[in-house]
């Protein structure tokens, strides 16, 4: 069993991004600039955005954080999005999800200029991804693809089972891995709450991607010997014996499954680290105009 170390891989790629950014600026390019809009006081969202801002500093990007109270009205948030769309200094930006219930997340996502949609959530980018055109690939799927490439994990001809069909993770990664690309050519099964005999589906997988949002859902009896296990889940569970009173676990029972897996991602320290790094990768592409030249 080999652990796919997201922390060390993210550090390595950030060093590469720093060198690429310095080279880009020396050649006359502008300093890449990523903005983030944070609404409310959700602890996980705050930590995630802080990590993004720090990561920008490490690779030589500029960053802007716009913080608003959870009582912000939808119209005001849309005005902020419009301002970022029009701000020529901003190469890419994200609106951190989830948003308060009184705000329509779809409306906000649709309001983001696809040229600056470095999260890859806009239908324009998702549509381009589906038909194989240049696009901003959603950050978490891009992180998983990068992990498998860097660890030389082959996907061609493999049976992949994806647990979870969200528009952010499950659906995009299932499409990407099935495409005729260097990271694809797999036979992909997308499982969800209506899947019949889900356990049997998982048991035949060469590669399991767990993004179902249930702590330790995947157990050792569901995993065949030598499978690759990519755990996207980040779940907080009670742990009275710890200083914080809780700990983070994935959608996979790591201690059980690790003994059978050929490769496995830990939680924390796995896919989550690569999600932020992928956002930086997309931002540099935006600054270079790689996806939408002249956009």
Q: Give the closest residue to 120 by CA, choosing from 134, 101, 99.
A: 134
- The response to whether 165 counts as a known ligand-binding position is yes
User: Quick one: tokens of 163?
Assistant: 């647990």
- Which residues, at least 6 apart from 204, have a Cβ–Cβ distance to it below 8 Å? 159, 161, 224
182 labelled catalytic = no
How remote is the C-alpha of 226 from its chain's centroid?
25
Which one from 91, 113, 117, 119 is the annotated catalytic residue? 119
- The response to whether 164 counts as a known ligand-binding position is yes
Which one from 96, 117, 253, 285 is the annotated catalytic residue? 96
- For residue 268, give the DSSP letter: S
- The response to whether 7 counts as a known ligand-binding position is no
- Distance CA(239)–CA(247), nearest Å, equals 6
Which one from 14, 52, 116, 285 is the annotated catalytic residue? 52
Strands (E), the chain: 2-3, 33-39, 62-68, 92-95, 159-163, 187-191, 207-210, 228-231, 235-238, 246-249, 263-264
285 labelled catalytic = no
73 labelled catalytic = no
Binding residues for NADP(+), as ranges, are: 164-166, 234
Q: Which residues are catalytic?
A: 52, 96, 119
Binding residues, as ranges, are: 164-166, 234
């Amino acid at each position: 069993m080999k652990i796919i170390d997201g922390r060390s891989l993210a550090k390595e790629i950030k060093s590469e991004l720093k060198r690429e950014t310095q080279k880009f600026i020396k050649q006359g390019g502008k300093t890449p600039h990523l903005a983030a809009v944070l609404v409310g006081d959700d602890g996980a969202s705050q930590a995630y955005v802080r990590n993004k801002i720090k990561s920008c500093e490490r690779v030589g990007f500029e960053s802007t954080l716009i913080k608003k109270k959870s009582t912000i009205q939808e119209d005001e948030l849309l005005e902020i999005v419009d301002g970022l769309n029009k701000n020529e200094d901003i190469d890419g930006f994200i609106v951190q999800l989830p948003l308060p219930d009184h705000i329509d997340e779809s409306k906000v996502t649709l309001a983001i200029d696809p040229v600056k949609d470095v999260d890859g959530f806009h239908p324009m980018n998702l549509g381009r991804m589906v038909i194989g055109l240049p696009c901003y690939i959603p950050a978490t799927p891009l992180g998983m693809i990068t992990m498998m490439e860097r660890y030389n994990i082959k996907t061609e001809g493999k049976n992949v089972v994806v647990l979870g069909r969200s528009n952010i993770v499950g659906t995009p990664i299932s499409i990407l891995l099935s495409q005729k690309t260097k990271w694809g050519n797999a036979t992909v099964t997308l499982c969800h709450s209506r899947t019949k005999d889900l356990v049997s589906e998982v048991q035949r997988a060469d590669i399991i991607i767990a993004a179902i949002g249930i702590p330790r859902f995947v157990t050792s009896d569901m995993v065949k010997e030598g499978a690759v296990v990519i755990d996207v889940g980040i779940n907080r569970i009670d742990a009275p014996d710890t200083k914080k009173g809780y700990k983070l676990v994935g959608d996979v029972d790591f201690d059980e499954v690790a003994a059978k897996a050929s490769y496995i991602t830990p939680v924390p320290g796995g896919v989550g680290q690569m999600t932020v790094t992928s956002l930086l990768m997309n931002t540099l592409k935006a600054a270079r105009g790689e996806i939408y030249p002249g956009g």
